[in-house]
Amino acid sequence: MALMPGRATNHQRHLFGIYFICGPYRPIFRAVTRRFLIAGTWLLLLAGCGDDAVPPEHAPAALDRTPPSHLVRLDRSGGDALVYDLPALSVADWEARNRLPAIATVIGSSTTPAQVVLRDTEGNVVALGLESRRGRTLDENVALGAIGADGSLYTVDTAGRAFEAGRRTPQRYAHTFAGVPDYLGAGAEGRLIGVDTSAPALEVLRPSDTLRIVPIASGRVALTSWGDLAAVATDTALLLYQPSSDDPPQSVDVGGAIDVEFSPSGHRVYVLAREGELVTVDRFSRRVRGRINLPGEGVALRAGNFGRWLLVAAAGGNSAWVVDLDADSLVGELPTIWDEQFPLLTSPNLVITADGDDVVARSLTGAGFPETGRVTDAAGDAWVSVAWGPEDAPSGSAETAEAAAADSAGTPADSAAGEQVFLQVSSSQNPEWAQALADKLGAAGLDASVLQPSGENTGYRVVLGPFASREEAETAGRSLGMPYFVIDAPTAAP
């Protein structure tokens, strides 16, 4: 769900900017060696991306893949955290080593480092290390927080002062926000974007820069994960703003817009229109790419972190429509309470809902969204999805295997004659940016290269491989822990 005028939700704060940065979002793979497993290497390689880097044009949502996730359950009144395996919602063999304080908001989670970050009722930021199993205080007197794509934590105190708070001593920004923003997002290179809904405006701040104010129209706001574009749903159109530019906003005629969301890679904008439609817009061409008729009045959108599923809150608050972005179709209606954390999209292809006081996991790929697990008397706690699991957690599940089999159904095991199989990790209209990325990956010991555009609508594709078969590529890609997709293409240029 995009930012609603006047307030920000915990859900919005914890979904924004956790997994993606200024280049293609997240790393490489473990094909035959362990080095491909190190997600942090990718994030460090891309830390040098700046505003002049062209945002990559990623694959359609249908080609994204989702790694297994776990859920962390936090007692809002304070106490022990628990980790749950999916899809069965069974308690994992993981035990916290100290108790957490009472929770005001969940800021988010990250995989590098593996942690869940919260703000307690005293205004302290506390990080629960999932590997150490301990909670520790990182900052005090905090009003807002956000987690960057590389796992960096940023905070704003009650006086509007910004900090990078993940270090032993929080590092203060040279300048301050005009006040405490309604919502805080973390982009590339420490860029912070505060959304002020009363002005309304975007407040853009870098560690050593003065504050930049970008006035925006009134309406719900969504930001790309690297903070290079803001979308505003207005009564007359969709407006797209570049926080780092003085250019006027770009307008896309979708009719009156109610809510807006970006895809995880930022290449698509999903707009809930007043005409009872879900409209898909290409963020680069600013053209409408598709429309899905909804069965009634929708009031809000909620996207998952991995691209396949989108939820639309139906008017009345007791159900949501499920949209499969792979198939560009509405697949059903899901009974659920719609609040700041439920329904929660997670992987593999699951949605977590509240059924009275119970928390329920449902499969999005099964007919009628069958229940796969239930925890009684748990809906009042905070639940956070993390792309991480304890060392002794199951490495997979029957549903994961079935989903993998379904993903590969109808595709040949090997590429067509004269072509080879690659994992594509990015596509850009900027050849220098694409080659620089491939060079960095190559320097890290990865078999990376650039495929030249095959047509006017394709970019310079950064790929890993080739692989002997699609099955081998899929196996490697599933160990990524982040989105990717498999392509058949001529051998990449050396």
User: Crossing angle of helices 470-478/398-408, nearest 10°?
Assistant: 140
CATH of domain 10-404: 2.130.10.10
Give the Cα separation of 484 and 406 in Å (integer): 17
pLDDT tens digit string along 22-68?
333 322 222 333 333 333 334 333 433 333 333 333 333 333 344 56
Structure confidence at residue 400 (pLDDT) = 37
CA atoms within 13 A on the CB side of 484: 26
φ and ψ of 438, to 5 deg: -60, -40
pLDDT tens digit string along 351-374?
999 999 999 999 999 999 999 999
Residue 23 DSSP one-character state: S
Residue 7 DSSP one-character state: B
Give me the count of residues in the chain.
494
Give the Cα separation of 149 and 271 in Å (integer): 24
Q: What percent of the chain lies above the pLDDT cut of 70? A: 74
Residue ranges of the domains in the chain?
10-404
Q: Which residues pair with 487 in a beta bridge?
A: 422
pLDDT tens digit string along 193-251?
999 999 899 999 988 889 999 999 999 999 987 788 999 999 999 999 999 888 999 99
Q: Which of 145-149, 246-250, 290-294, 471-475 shows the lowest mean pLDDT across its residues?
A: 471-475
Measured CA angle at 116 (ends 352, 70), to 5 deg: 40
Q: Is the pLDDT score of 394 beyond 60? A: no
Mean pLDDT of 253-269: 91
Structure confidence at residue 491 (pLDDT) = 59
Q: Which residues pair with 261 in a beta bridge?
A: 270
Structure confidence at residue 169 (pLDDT) = 76
Give the Cα separation of 203 and 144 in Å (integer): 14
Structure confidence at residue 8 (pLDDT) = 38
pLDDT tens digit string along 482-491?
445 677 776 5
List Cα–Cα distances, 413 to 168, 373, 416, 420, 483, in angstroms: 50, 33, 10, 11, 21
Residue 214 DSSP one-character state: E
Q: What is the mean pLDDT of the chain?
A: 78
Q: Is the pLDDT score of 10 beyond 50? A: no
Query: In 187-318, where do the E strands start and end?
Result: 192-196, 201-205, 212-215, 220-223, 230-233, 238-241, 250-252, 257-262, 268-273, 277-282, 288-293, 298-303, 309-314
